[in-house]
Structure 1
Amino acid sequence: MVLKRFLTTAAIAAASYMPMATASWAQLSDWSYAATIYLFTPETDVSQQTARGKVEGTLSFSDALENLDLAFMGTFSATNGRWSILADYNYTDLTFSNDTPGGVSSGVETALTTQFFSGYLGYRVYSSDTTLVDVAGGFRWFKTETGFTVLPGTAPGRSVNVNSNWTDPVIGIRARTAFNDRWSGTGFFDYGGFTNDSETWQVLLTADYAINERWLLRLGYRYISFDHEINGNDFKFSQSGPVIGATYRF
């Protein structure tokens, strides 16, 4: 399977690189770093408003892996005292189909390639023996190449294509709490856009298990949403579902 081969290759490459990176960064003792590779297999909803009505497609969580052609998801963070830098990149390539009610069409086929990249500058506003809280500000860039094929029914078939990209400012908050020496939890929320024609937000909750001082396993839930006006028509994209990942700290 393409996805499994891709993720396996990425994981091997990351695991090979990280020990070498540790030695390279050791001289910068004021900084600490963390790199994460994660798998996000969500339910996906995408829609585009047109002059002839809204066209939409939905990929259920149970079908996500089967319909996923290619994916890469990863984050990188750097921390120095109260300051931190966080980057998050997500790439997915999906194809799926849906039935449509009534007989106007016989179904909708959806093919979409999406990328989004979020960058933040964070500042720690609270710190205790067990809990850390950071506020952050930054941006989120989103790019989509989405194609809807409306299959003919009582009405003729048609195609709707959406190719666009944009960048929104975002603000966010992250909280981390240690439950014991091994287990901790992380919560992250951000919101951006701040205009009538562009809005984005996400929430991420994870339970984190420390294998050792370097490696951390994460299991949680993520929801992310985009609502943007393209050429006067509303485009919406959202994903929600479980997240599993591995973090290397150096």
Structure 2
Amino acid sequence: MGRITRLRDATAGLMFAACAPISALAQQSDWSYQATIYLFTPETNVSTETAIGTLEGTLSFSDALENLDLAFMGTFAATNGQWSILGDYNYTDLSFSNSAPTPNSSGLETSLTTQFLSGFLGYRVLSTEKSTVDLAAGFRWFKTETDLTVLPGAAPGRSVNVNESWTDPVIGVRARFDLADRWSGAAFFDYGGFRSGSETWQVLLTADYEINDRWMIRGGYRYISFDHEIDGDDFKFDQSGPLIGATYQF
């Protein structure tokens, strides 16, 4: 027991010694941070080209919350002078039906779980009293587990499953500008893929209201799109609609 105690104490001492300079550096640095939790309630469109034809599922904005099984959406940003780091994670689990019949089927059921993570390193290229502009480069990782089930009609029912993940390089530009007392706005655009069979892009517009030095609320509009070839078949996923969130600054 004595040896274990000494080993535990030594390990704790080493951890403290290692963390102390990091903590001191953090206290001396000029980094500022923002953490945001937000709700994105978009119209969702998913389609895939298969040997049996094109299968498409659509969930309108008005039905999004009703059909939402689980979701988490958040961003984290760090800024130091002209440099910035931004991460954005989105997880959604949706199940919905499109009951409009066709000559061969009585409708389509869609179940999809999607995750995407975007990471950027930004550099400020313009700064005025009222506005800033940053250029950014990074990546976007996307993972989907999608089931499309064609309900039987004149033709028998059939199902298609897409379970895949991939990562694309992405470049972007972000602009922020003051609107009025406590109000500001932001616009962000990015594009990625840069290879045959994979493309992604996004537009994000927000209006932000600063409650105090720590808290800010924001609302806006987002469109994000993914187009990727999987085993020779074209898979498309896009979401567009309003968002609302709360940001803590420290």
TM-score normalised according to structure 2 size: 0.89
In the other structure, the counterpart of 2:226 is 226
In the other structure, the counterpart of 1:194 is 194
Displacement of 1:194 in angstroms is 1.1
Correspondence list, 1:1-250, <5 A: 27-250=27-250
Quick one: distance in 1 between partners of 2:94 and 2:139? 25
Listed one character per residue, the Cα deviations across residues 87-123 of structure 1 (whole Å, up to 9, x for unaligned) are: 0000000000002443300000000000000000000
Quick one: distance in 1 between partners of 2:45 and 2:194? 22
Listed one character per residue, the Cα deviations across residues 193-216 of structure 1 (whole Å, up to 9, x for unaligned) are: 012200000000001100011111
Quick one: distance in 1 between partners of 2:107 and 2:101? 8
Quick one: distance in 1 between partners of 2:196 and 2:100? 30
Structure 1 unaligned regions, length at least 5: 1-22
In the other structure, the counterpart of 2:3 is none
Q: Higher mean Cα deviation, 94-103 or 172-181?
A: 94-103
Specify the SS of the correspondent of 1:213: coil
Listed one character per residue, the Cα deviations across residues 120-157 of structure 1 (whole Å, up to 9, x for unaligned) are: 00000000111010000000000000001110000000
Specify the SS of the correspondent of 1:179: strand
TM-score normalised according to structure 1 size: 0.89
Displacement of 1:28 in angstroms is 4.1
Displacement of 1:179 in angstroms is 1.7
The list of structure 1 runs, each at least 4 consecutive aligned residues, that deviate by more than 2 angstroms after superposition, is 23-26, 99-103
Structure 2 unaligned regions, length at least 5: 1-22
Quick one: distance in 2 between partners of 1:49 and 1:99? 20
In the other structure, the counterpart of 1:16 is none
Specify the SS of the correspondent of 1:65: helix
In the other structure, the counterpart of 1:19 is none
Quick one: distance in 2 between partners of 1:50 and 1:206? 37
Q: Give the number of the structure whose alpha-carbon radius of gyration is greater.
A: 2
Percent of paired sites with the same residue: 75
Q: Which amino acid aligns with 2:123?
A: Y
Root-mean-square deviation (Å):
1.4
Quick one: distance in 2 between partners of 1:228 and 1:193? 9
Paired positions, count:
228
Q: Which amino acid aligns with 2:245?
A: G
